[in-house]
Structure 1
Amino acid sequence: MANIKEQKLRKLKKSYIGGSFAGFIIIGTIVFSLFASLFAVFGLYIMDTKLRDEYARVSKIAEVYSILKDAGNEGISRILESGETVYLITDADMNVIETHGKNTCDLSKGGKIDILEFTDEAAVPTDEEGIHGHIGSMVEKARDNAITVYPDTEVAIITPSGRGRVMIDFMELRSIISGTDYGSDALSLQQAYFVKLPFWIDIPVDANHHMICKAYFNIYFRELAILSFLAVMVVALTFVTLVFVLAYIIKTVRNRKRMNEIFFMDETTGQHNWLWFITNAERELKKKYNADKKYAVLDVVFVNYRNFCVCHSVEEGGKMLCRINDRIQGFLGKHELTAHHSASHFAVLLEYRDRDELEARIRKMIDDLEHINDEHKFYYWIGVDRIPESKDEKGRVVRRDNIDVEKEFNNAGAARATLTVEDSAIAFFDEKMVEEQRWIDLINENQMRALASEEFVVFYQPKYDPRTRELKGAEALIRWMSPEHGMISPGRFIPIFEKNGFITKIDHYMLAHVARDQRRWLDAGYDCVPVSVNVSRAHFIESDLAEQIKGIVDDAGTPHDLIEIELTESAFFDDKNALISTIKKLREYGFAVSMDDFGSGYSSLNSLKEMPLDVLKLDADFFRNDDGDGRGQIVVSEAIKLAQNLKMRTVAEGVEEKNQVDFLAEQGCDMIQGFYFAKPMPKDEYEERMNNKTA
């Protein structure tokens, strides 16, 4: 999960950083290309206009020449010379027949160019006897939109490109403008225009003759000013646009960086959150130069957090979490990390050399955190999962490419969950905890199926009178007969059921089976004795518990005096009023009620005074490990006397030796339950015990 989030976050960063710069380049290119294209189109328009004008001028000269030539007028040259036009007359093979003016035409580098359509019939006199026909012919030629041009040999700036356009050699033009001397005839500078560039236009006169006239590409000051202005505008607008886009990108990156900070910020502490921790911890652990280092992931829990919030306020609790976060931060090295995980949990990444050094460092941190408040001493539970050096099968150091910090933190949390002391403590994770968790998951997955298929089996452990050896009762004990795992002892699944709440279903199941067994045995003629059935403390949140028990027993048709309800000692520390009310109802319905494991925990004599119990079961630890000074026997003896004075029967459980039996018999103990007389047994073996009646 963490890796998926990190990958998505990495993609997000790349998208807005790489995407922003890519967008900057793309937009800049588009804007520059747009303005440059407009500039180029405008320049081409001006160039086409000038070429068209020059073509129109020389076309008229060629038309006049053609008309007069057809009329046989011998004064053609004189007429044309008066116009100061420089031209050549060539034959069809481009051999020069006649020249007028200085011939600087480079006939070897000619080429066709495209110009805008030209029709200007009004510029040439028309008559119905021939001139009109000449003009029409020239117009048709112009409409072809392709003319032949030649460069000038002295000023070879304008040349055909071979792609239907003319090229201007701007380097040469720059040299001309800067003062390079090409000859007074080659380049003319006049006040009306900035520069005029010569080139030659070919006009076909007839099938056998061409007139090649010298034309000029005039660049006027106003045109140069407009072009310069447009060039400056292109650059300026491009620059302004790019500046605007760049400013927008910078603002976007900053905003997203701020969003990133908020994304990684914990709401309670204002510092780093859990996602920041797993992202940066994994990045740190995956660095190649950290592969030979040992790390530990800690789950630090502020045990007193809820009580502190109740006594003060949630707001004050949040402030205390901030102080704890800052204090932990002060213990960290350069590349060590911490973040608030949730509620009272903090995640920490530490570097260490060996376990002793790590544990000493953690205890030092705990000692400081315990006294973070002058008015209270706080406690902390810390789970630790160690990450060793990363090496391959040959012992070579390799990168931790597959590290999962979230898994390591969960392992640390599993270790921390084993702590139950009321003081600060440290627990280190090991693989046994993984196996335990797998077992818990297996139990959770199979409990309902096992209940439905009645894999839970009732075993009975008899209770005997230590003096007469007569059978006086029994306790119903559960066993799980699993098809996959065989017989599972209650110690491996009952604690799990108590945590996940399934224990209430088990209690009902056991009570129903015991009641049905008792009914069946009665019908078979057995001399039945009371059987005690455990009822979990989890039931006592139910106000109708007594009614539920009565209903289950009545459904089986079993007399109430054959069912004893056994409560564990821990149940007496819950809602005392509800417990007393339930016990009274059960006794009213005819059920005996007993306290199990008296003496195993923190029994309260006050509970014995207030609870209307029928049976007191003494835990075996009361006298099992006597040091020989007789203190244990004294306690057991007095407990039996106390129960007798309270009109309660006594049962000693866990009895395994004859001297214990003899001692309990002397003290007046009513029943003994233990391996000395009998182990828990299936119902068929218990039936035999009922037949024998004595141990």
Structure 2
Amino acid sequence: MVVRRGKSRSRGRFQTDLANARLHMLLKACPDPVLIKDAEGFWYRMNQAAQRLFAIHSPQSSKLSPEEARQRYPHLAESFVCNRQEDEHAWQAHQTLSEQVVFWGPEQTPQRLQVQRTPYYYPDGSRWCLVITATPAASPPSQGSLHQSLFELEMIMEATDTAVWQFDAGQHLLRANHIAWHWMGYPASTPPEVPNTCLLFQSNPWQIGFQEALRSQQTTRTSIETWPLASGALLEVEVDRIPYRHGSTLAGIVVLARDITAYRETARALADSEERYRTILNEIQDGYFEVDLAGNLRFFNPALSTILGYTAQELAGLNYRAYTNEDQTQLLYQSFHSVYRSRHSAMTEWQIIRKDGTPRYVNATVSLILNADDQPAGFRGLVRDITDHKQAELELRYLAHHDPLTALPNRSQFIAEIQSAIAESQDHQQSFALLFVDLDRFKNVNDTLGHPAGDQLLQQVADTLKKVIRQKDMVARTGGDEFAVLLRPMTRAEDLSAIAARILEQLQKPWHIAGQEFRCPGSIGIALYPHDGSDPDTLLKHADVAMYRAKNLGGNRFVLYNATMNRQSSDYVLLESDLNQALKQRQFILHYQPQMNSQTGQIYGVEALVRWQRPNGSLVPPNDFIPFAEHSGLIIPIGQQVFAEACRQTAQWQAKGRPLHKVAINLSARQFQQPDLQAMIMQILETTGCPPQAVEIEITESAAMENVAYTLRILKAFRDMGMSIALDDFGTGFSSLRYLKEFPITSLKIDQSFVHDVLYETKSRAIVKTVIELANNLGVAVIAEGAETQEQVNALQDLGCSVIQGYYFSRPLPADALEHFMNRYR
């Protein structure tokens, strides 16, 4: 049979089911006893005739090993059914072997049976199954008359479903039964000498077998051959050729042939079905199992061995308790019991223990195995290793409640813990304390040593806090450099003060990171339940307010919350509201401070500086609202308005032909880190019509160093667009020289603190000179800011800096006033 490749699994399963159904029908319809064993001698199929012959009233519900068969049916132990030696002879012979045996039935009456063992093999030659059939054997001839014997012979020949021919020694047909005549294509009344030349007798299989029987004069049992019939059909037959004698002389040959075409087709279909079934099970990644009702493995595929870590020999017969821990055994039992009661498939999940002791998570779809009487006989299912998925799920669950950097509980988990503490305190009439801890100089660590050092500091602080608090307390990281501590219960004020003082003491000790030693003390705000709040949000808010109060008092201290602190908090709320209103009403305006070339007297460029103009006309200086805008995040929309207005005004000036080389626009650290910064700037340039060459982006050293990789990428993108890049406040940081050669800087701005002291301090003058020489060597421009006197301008010129910005030339001016200034310097 040709196996067609590429068919769907559903079709393969349909063909398997069809083959099994055909085999079941044939076995049921077959009047002779039939027993099928597998390659290992396990019984796995018998028909009803065999059950009656062997006195088996309740057939087995699953495969039986030879040992189990002997134990379950001791009356068959010494019969041909359990004769493994004869079974092996048939396997070795690769053909059907036949023997006559005396079988003692259930009534202790002997029966003479003709037993045939027929082996079947897979296409690769490996053993598949052994089919054992038993038919009544012919009795020795009785001492009656010859006429009576012939009559009985004719009756027997016509009653059997086997084709029978009798030939004499000269190969002449003497008699045949009706089946034989039908196969030859003649009516049963045809004279025996007529069909001697029929198609069947002339075929090679017939001639070879017949001549061999004549030559050897030995009985040839159950030869399997393919015969051509007169109708043109081909039959697969099982043939016996039996020579008979008169005395010592060969008298003739009797040929018996049984049609096994349907049986062989069914067997081949079954073999194909078994092969497909075995191939599928061997190739799938999921483990397949069949267990009995006690949970002992009866059948499994290689994938299950891989999942459990046992060899196939170790796994055979193993009970599920061997690879399931005690906690999971009851869960698995309940799942299987539910399938047993409902008879419906179910999915279950549990933890297994591999042979090497490694725990793994699996899930399985389990269904019930029913025997021929529709009674539960075991369970089968598919097992999938979901350990990676489960670990990822547990990791996500962990990350949802913990800070990934410090492994401390995060804000959401801390709030849940506060809620638990509130419930516990209400039940026991207790109090607890909430501490808000913030590091005072953490930004300096990031600015000077970089973010990796800042991360190390946060990890060390987390470890320190865990050591300081009591075992029943909890510490969490709520964001940035902020930590929160829950002290439960807290009944004595002196205990609270002692713990807070101990935390401050530990935070004030020197920290050692990246080969450097520095100090980073903290500020602590404390709120008490229920005095300072009855819910998590209120308690956290009040602890935060107290912490900011501690910072305003100089830091490195702890402060208990009191109601008067809310007034300062309210001021911040009002300021945030006013800033939001100012954004909506576009109350932010720009003033522009000229940058002058002191050698030529021409305008080099201008720097755009934001002012907040309230509705009453008063101006709020940047230092009064920019820090809060940074802290609250409002600097992002404010900065976008400022950038858009500066570009619009620059485009307008250039359209008028004003002598303006470029406009410098500041980006704060928070603005610079926003993900859509580049897209926002490109859109503003396109909308306003401002050429990128007229814009200079100013960033501080600290902003540039927060994320060096990002800084490099975004600055290169700005330069590719045509914009200039100025590094503001140069000389105040500690890390920029390392990356200065990589940053696409077009100008350096000398901080005004050095300019103010250039006349009086040798070190300041040396720094200014070094920066100017560095800029000249790098091929970038240098701008000095904050010049207020003629002497300062002269000193800067002497040192080689000609582009100067400061009150000496002009204060920041509104746009219309700057136009007059530009006209004057045309």
The TM-score with structure 1 as length reference comes to 0.47
Q: TM-score, normalised by structure 2?
A: 0.40
Q: Which has the higher helix share?
A: 1
Normalized per residue, which structure has more strand? 2
